[in-house]
Structures are given as structure tokens and as C-alpha cells.
């Protein structure tokens, strides 16, 4: 039986390995297009509650509990770690990024399936945002 301590140890181990560029063999391969459709900027100190989006020279800020992206969008997500100490941010199940204090970290995410994922700081459940991926058909009708 897996307890809370086991989960924390597993997350910490994965974060350490990700910090040096080692990912599990079971991690889904990441296929990235060269063109970025939109950019998303988040800040650790506000718990990812305020999102700033950029697209084709335009910028807007919104506050949402659940983020929405469209399949097959390619999004660059930039996270500012404006808190003391390094943070490990997960982008879905197997993509982790270690960001030192006072620095920015970026990850490019391809929404290539309609599976939801979350952007969160490992070990800090209050700093998390679920991401809903709308299918190509739903995006066309504005759902």
C-alpha cells in the first residue's frame, strides 16, 4: 500500500532526476512543432491564479481555475519562480522543470490529445492549475 510519504518521496526523486535531465522510460515522447501558437506566463507567488497570454503581438491577463487550450496547439509556458528557494514545476505526468529562485523557466507543450493535464509545483498542492484540452471539433464551434 502506498502512503503519502511514499508519494512525496517518489515526486522528490522524479524532480531531482528531472533537474539533471533524466526522465522515466515510460514518459510519453514529446513531439514539438516549430511554431508557437500562444504563450502563457505564470507566477509561483500568486499560485498560478493569474495567467497572462500572448498571441501574435497581443497580450491579455485573466484569472481562471481551469485553463483551456485547443488541440493541436503548441504553447510555450513560462513560469517565474518569485519565491525563495528552487521549485520543480510539472507540466503533466512526466515533464518536470527545475526553476531556481528569482528565475524564469519555460517548457513548450503540444496539446496533441484531448487528455487534461495540470501545471503544478511539485509538493505544493495549493500551486496547481488544471488544463483542459478542447478537441479540434469543440474549438471550431467555440465550446
- Please tell me the total number of residues recorded for the chain in this structure: 143
Top-confidence residue, 76 or 23: 76
Q: Taking a C-beta distance cutoff of 8 angstroms, is the pair 132, 100 a contact?
A: no
Report pTM.
0.70
pLDDT tens for residues 27-78? 555 555 568 899 999 999 988 889 999 999 899 999 988 888 888 888 899 9
Cis peptide before 72 (omega within 30 of 0): yes
pLDDT tens for residues 87-105? 999 988 778 999 999 999 9
Tell me the helix, strand and coil percentages in the chain, rounded to 5: 15, 45, 40
Q: What is the mean pLDDT of the chain?
A: 80
Tell me what pLDDT residue 6 has: 59
Report, at the CATH architecture level, how domain 4-24+32-141 is classified: Sandwich (2.60)
- 126 to 3, 36, 65, 76, 142: CA distances (angstroms): 20, 29, 12, 23, 30
Tell me what pLDDT residue 64 has: 84
- 7 to 1, 89, 97: CA distances (angstroms): 11, 16, 18
Amino acid at each position: 500500500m502506498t502512503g503519502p510519504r511514499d508519494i512525496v518521496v517518489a515526486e522528490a526523486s522524479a524532480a531531482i532526476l528531472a533537474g539533471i535531465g533524466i526522465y522515466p522510460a515510460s514518459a510519453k515522447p514529446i513531439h514539438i512543432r516549430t511554431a508557437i501558437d500562444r504563450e502563457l506566463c505564470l507566477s509561483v507567488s500568486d499560485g498560478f491564479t493569474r495567467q497572462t497570454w500572448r498571441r501574435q503581438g497581443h497580450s491579455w491577463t485573466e484569472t481562471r481555475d481551469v485553463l483551456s487550450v485547443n488541440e493541436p496547439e503548441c504553447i510555450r509556458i513560462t513560469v517565474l519562480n518569485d519565491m525563495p528557494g528552487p521549485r520543480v514545476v510539472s507540466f503533466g505526468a512526466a515533464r518536470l522543470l527545475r526553476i531556481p529562485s528569482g528565475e524564469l523557466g519555460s517548457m513548450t507543450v503540444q496539446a496533441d490529445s484531448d487528455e487534461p493535464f495540470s501545471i503544478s509545483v511539485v509538493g505544493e498542492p495549493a500551486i496547481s492549475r488544471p488544463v483542459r484540452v478542447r478537441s479540434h471539433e469543440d474549438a471550431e464551434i467555440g465550446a
